[in-house]
Chains A and B, each alone.
Chain A
Amino acid sequence: MEVCGVPPEQDKTKGFSINDNADLLAEILSRLDGRSLGVAACVCRLWSGVCRRDTVWEALCTRHVSGGAATARAVVAALGGYRRLYRLCMGPVLERLPPARRDEAGHVSLSLSLSLSLFSIDCYERLGGRQRSSLLFLRNTVDVS
């Protein structure tokens, strides 16, 4: 019997698996925004593992800074990693910006300096077990009217 042609839809992904190379997957996921990265973590085991790599979150955080990112690495790592930095400080600030401005490094670099300061203060405060007095409320919008 003659073998029938494979339907075009199936043929599209035949012989192709994006999961074959975890490093390339990390290259792709490093280019996502924070929310998409969180969603990507739910796809499968491999994706979940790659989304937990701190280098992926570092790429996300440093994309918003114009310089000095390399020197911050040791500090961020000591204070809990880039995923934590993003979740606690950078994410909330970035999400308040209009989408078009989120990827402009210059505009956001100031926010990052503030984020880093808040991040260190938060970690310092947690050392004393005084979590309730956290200054993290500063990342929220303040109503000055």
Chain B
Amino acid sequence: MATIITKEQQEKEKMVTLVSSDSEKFVVEQKVAEKSHVIKMVMNCCGIESPIPVRRVKGDILKSILEYCEKHSKGEAQEVMEKWDKEYMDKAEKDLVFFHDLMLASHFLHIQELVDLIAVTFAGMLKMKSPEEIRQKFNINNDLTKEQEEHIMTTFGWAFQPI
């Protein structure tokens, strides 16, 4: 009997509770949370007994990030992961606000693999677009003066010439 309790306790000890900025609680395995370098550091110095607040990340974002971390802590075959990553990105990039928050949060939590994945997907949205199309898509004001634009064209004008 005593051994069973110890085992259960050991199982329990491997779980950690993360709390989002809007007080949503997520109970995940320690190895899943470790995917974030920042959370790993916190767990190393403060232990996993008490819940860890992730104050700058909202519940829906944290949920999505933990979904990624969980999948990536399983050590599955590369092809399986690539397919999963693609589907994950396809879903996330539909809502740009969410997608940008996801990037900010993974940057804040130091999950470099996820930052890389999102940056590549973001870059994909910029390829083959004109500056005006990019400004429209991301709601950016053109704050360049005529002189600055001319100066940029002397440096980067080659990018607009046909191959």
Binding site for B on A (CB under 8 A): 12-19, 21, 23-24, 27-45, 47-48, 51-52, 87, 91, 95
Contact = CB atoms under 8 A, between A and B. Distances in A.
A138 B51 CA distance: 63
Interface of B: 95-97, 100-101, 103-104, 107, 115-116, 119-120, 122-123, 126-131, 134-135, 138-144, 148-149, 152-153, 155-160, 163
Main secondary structure of the interface of B (DSSP, over half): helix
B97 A44 contact: no
A13 B119 contact: no
B117 to A, nearest CB: 10
Nearest to A10: B139
Contact of B159 (A24, A38, A47): A38
A11 to B, nearest CB: 9
Main secondary structure of the interface of A (DSSP, over half): helix
A42 to B, nearest CB: 4
Contacts of A37: 159
Contacts of B115: 24, 27
Identify the interface centre among A27, A29, A45, A95: most chain B CB within 10 Å of its CB. Answer: A27
A28 B158 contact: no
A15 B96 CA distance: 11
A36 B138 CA distance: 16
A34 to B, nearest CB: 7
Identify the interface centre among A17, A23, A31, A32: most chain B CB within 10 Å of its CB. Answer: A31
A12 B122 CA distance: 16
Contacts of A52: 155
A101 B97 CA distance: 33
Contact of A19 (B127, B140, B158): B140
Contact of A27 (B119, B129, B138): B119
A89 to B, nearest CB: 13
A32 B127 contact: yes
Contacts of B129: 36, 39
B9 to A, nearest CB: 41
A15 B124 CA distance: 22
A95 B100 contact: no
A52 B155 CA distance: 10
